[in-house]
């Protein structure tokens, strides 16, 4: 069918034509926004899940929900080895701009505090400070959020931002994607600041998204983090939602899917959103007409797989060193051996078994494992076990060897 009218959208953070199966999360977030704007205590949301399940697009949808309620919003993507100060100041700068009222004294004060917070990263080195300008034109406020202790500074910063939002009768929401990549000090300070802010009833929330081990990262940092955040596991879509992700965009283009084709699509994609979009795109282009049939799915499947092998799996595999690749392949083999036939073998495996399969001592493999963890290719859900962060990665590795 006409590729120009192809509605499907595979790609990291690509807004899907239909955000299927996430009504519960969107509804829960509306409650959070309403309660927080009324000064009621409420836990914020943290979305966790594997690669490509739709965390980023859901985070963006939550942000849109906040904007519709006239909240100020900002977003940042954490990166390993990057301190929180600069990206957070940019996000809060954006949030304050969205609040409006640019001419008021309160706004100038808060912008000055954000600037002070951002500049503190450079320490006393004025040259370093001048090299990076957060784009805030007001003078820096002194003696607020600039102590150099990230925890103290964050509390002061969020208190002032929250105070401004409260004065204007709205709130501020900061969205942190890839939250598991925040540094240990930054995570700890962010939790402490959220704790403090929620106790003072100020309308500020931090909404996070990250890999499945994010709750463990947060609770290792502050034991009370479970009381700060409500963890929502974002997973593959159930059959009905997966069908909807395909049929709703087709309907908008006056096209349809046959029931058998939908069943074949679910078998191929496992309901994983990224795979749904990738297959949807390939099948649409190959289909001879509406309704799209099982035969169309079969014809396009190799193309979809080839596309995924490059864009989804290959791009990640390429980031691993030869030693790390051996480790990944051993994981894939062990996973296959250990899983019963009727379960997709993508579940976690024992690190000891991986070492045994490579004929090495577990300790000698720690560098490879740590590096893969840092690259976000694997995660450890519980002690002594690891799993792929990428769905169907084991299968890809086994088939491509």
Ligand X SMILES: Nc1ncnc2c1ncn2[C@@H]1O[C@H](COP(=O)(O)OP(=O)(O)OP(=O)(O)O)[C@@H](O)[C@H]1O
Three-class SS state of 373: helix
Pair 94, 67: CB distance under 8 Å: no
Q: Among Mg ion, ligand X, none, what does residue 348 contact (CB within 5–8 Å per kind)?
A: none
Residue number, 205 or 245, with CB nearest to ligand X:
245
DSSP state of 314: I
Residue number, 21 or 134, with CB nearest to ligand X:
21
**Sole window of 53-61, 165-173, 245-253, 334-342 interacting with Mg ion (rule: CB under 5 A):** 53-61
Q: Among Mg ion, ligand X, none, what does residue 222 contact (CB within 5–8 Å per kind)?
A: none
Distance CA 112, CA 142 (A): 8
Q: What x/- string results for residues 270 through 289 when contact with ligand X is judged by CB under 6 A?
A: ---xx-xx------------
Give min distance, CB of 124 to ligand X, in A: 37
Distance CA 250, CA 247 (A): 5
Phi, psi of 73 (to 5 degrees): -130, 150
Residue number, 1 or 53, with CB nearest to ligand X:
53
Count of residues in contact with ligand X, rule CB under 6 A: 25
Residue number, 256 or 356, with CB nearest to ligand X:
256
Structure tokens at 212: 């499945």
**Sole window of 54-62, 117-125, 219-227, 256-264 interacting with Mg ion (rule: CB under 5 A):** 54-62
Please, which of residues 1-40 interact with ligand X by CB under 6 A? Answer: 9-14, 16, 18-22
Phi, psi of 148 (to 5 degrees): 100, -20
Residue number, 56 or 348, with CB nearest to Mg ion:
56
Q: Among Mg ion, ligand X, none, what does residue 11 contact (CB within 5–8 Å per kind)?
A: ligand X
Residue number, 58 or 150, with CB nearest to ligand X:
58
- What element of type H or E holds 9? none
Pair 262, 243: CB distance under 8 Å: yes
Taking 3-state DSSP, the helix, strand and coil percentages for the chain, each rounded to the nearest 5, stand at 55, 10, 35
Residue number, 61 or 83, with CB nearest to ligand X:
61
Q: Among Mg ion, ligand X, none, what does residue 238 contact (CB within 5–8 Å per kind)?
A: none
Residue number, 26 or 301, with CB nearest to ligand X:
26
Residue number, 8 or 117, with CB nearest to ligand X:
8
Give min distance, CB of 313 to ligand X, in A: 12
Residue 351 near Mg ion by CB under 5 A: no
What residue number has its CB nearest to ligand X?
54
Pair 309, 400: CB distance under 8 Å: yes
Strand order in the sheet with 385-388: 349-350, 385-388, 378-379
Q: What x/- string results for residues 37 through 66 when contact with ligand X is judged by CB under 6 A?
A: ------------x-xxxxxxx---------
Pair 374, 340: CB distance under 8 Å: no
Please, which of residues 222-281 interact with ligand X by CB under 6 A? Answer: 245, 273-274, 276-277
Distance CA 161, CA 262 (A): 48
Q: Measured in Å, how far apart are the chain's first and last C-alpha atoms?
A: 34
Give min distance, CB of 321 to Mg ion, in A: 24
Quote the Cα angle for 310-316-321, to 5°: 120
Give min distance, CB of 70 to Mg ion, in A: 26
Q: Among Mg ion, ligand X, none, what does residue 22 contact (CB within 5–8 Å per kind)?
A: ligand X
Q: What distance lies between CA 38 and its chain's CA centroid?
A: 28
Give min distance, CB of 117 to ligand X, in A: 27
Pair 1, 287: CB distance under 8 Å: yes
Please, which of residues 56-75 interact with Mg ion by CB under 5 A? Answer: 56
Residue that the structure tokens 């690891």 belong to: 386
Q: Which residues pair with 46 in a beta bridge?
A: 208, 231
Distance CA 370, CA 372 (A): 5
Chain positions contacting ligand X, by CB under 6 A: 9-14, 16, 18-22, 49, 51-57, 245, 273-274, 276-277
Chain positions contacting Mg ion, by CB under 5 A: 56
């Amino acid at each position: 069918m006409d590729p120009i009218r192809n509605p499907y959208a595979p790609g990291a953070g690509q807004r899907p034509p239909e955000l299927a199966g996430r009504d519960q999360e969107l509804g829960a977030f509306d409650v959070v926004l309403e309660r927080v704007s009324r000064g009621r205590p409420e836990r914020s949301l943290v979305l966790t899940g594997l690669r490509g399940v739709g965390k980023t697009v859901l985070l963006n949808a939550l942000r849109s929900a906040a904007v519709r309620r006239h909240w100020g919003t900002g977003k940042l993507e954490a990166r390993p080895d990057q301190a929180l100060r600069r990206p957070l100041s940019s996000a809060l700068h954006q949030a304050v701009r969205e609040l409006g009222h640019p001419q008021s004294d309160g706004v100038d004060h808060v912008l000055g505090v954000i600037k002070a917070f951002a500049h503190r990263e450079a320490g006393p080195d004025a040259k370093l400070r001048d090299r990076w300008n957060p784009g805030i034109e007001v003078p820096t406020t002194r003696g607020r959020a600039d102590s150099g202790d990230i925890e103290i500074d964050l509390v002061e910063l969020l208190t002032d931002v929250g105070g401004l939002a409260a004065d204007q009768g709205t709130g501020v929401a900061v969205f942190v994607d890839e939250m598991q990549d925040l540094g240990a000090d930054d995570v700890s300070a962010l939790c402490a600041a959220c704790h403090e802010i929620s106790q003072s009833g100020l309308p500020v929330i931090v909404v996070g998204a990250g890999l499945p081990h994010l709750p463990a990262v947060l609770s290792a940092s502050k034991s009370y983090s479970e009381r700060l955040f409500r963890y929502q596991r974002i997973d593959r879509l159930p059959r009905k939602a997966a069908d909807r992700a395909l049929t709703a965009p087709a309907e908008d283009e006056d096209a349809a899917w046959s029931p058998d084709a939908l069943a074949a699509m679910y078998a191929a994609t496992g309901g994983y959103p990224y795979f749904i979009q990738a297959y949807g795109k390939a099948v649409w282009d190959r289909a001879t007409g509406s309704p799209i049939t099982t035969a169309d799915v079969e014809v396009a499947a190799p193309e979809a797989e080839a596309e995924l092998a490059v864009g989804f799996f290959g791009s990640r595999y390429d980031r691993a060193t030869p030693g790390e690749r051996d480790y990944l392949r051993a994981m894939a083999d062990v996973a296959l051996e250990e899983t019963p036939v009727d379960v997709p073998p993508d579940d976690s495996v024992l690190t000891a078994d991986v070492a045994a399969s490579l004929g090495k001592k577990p300790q000698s493999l720690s560098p490879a494992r740590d590096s893969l963890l840092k690259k976000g290719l694997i995660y450890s859900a519980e002690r002594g076990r690891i799993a792929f962060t990428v769905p169907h990665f084991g299968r890809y590795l086994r088939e491509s060897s």
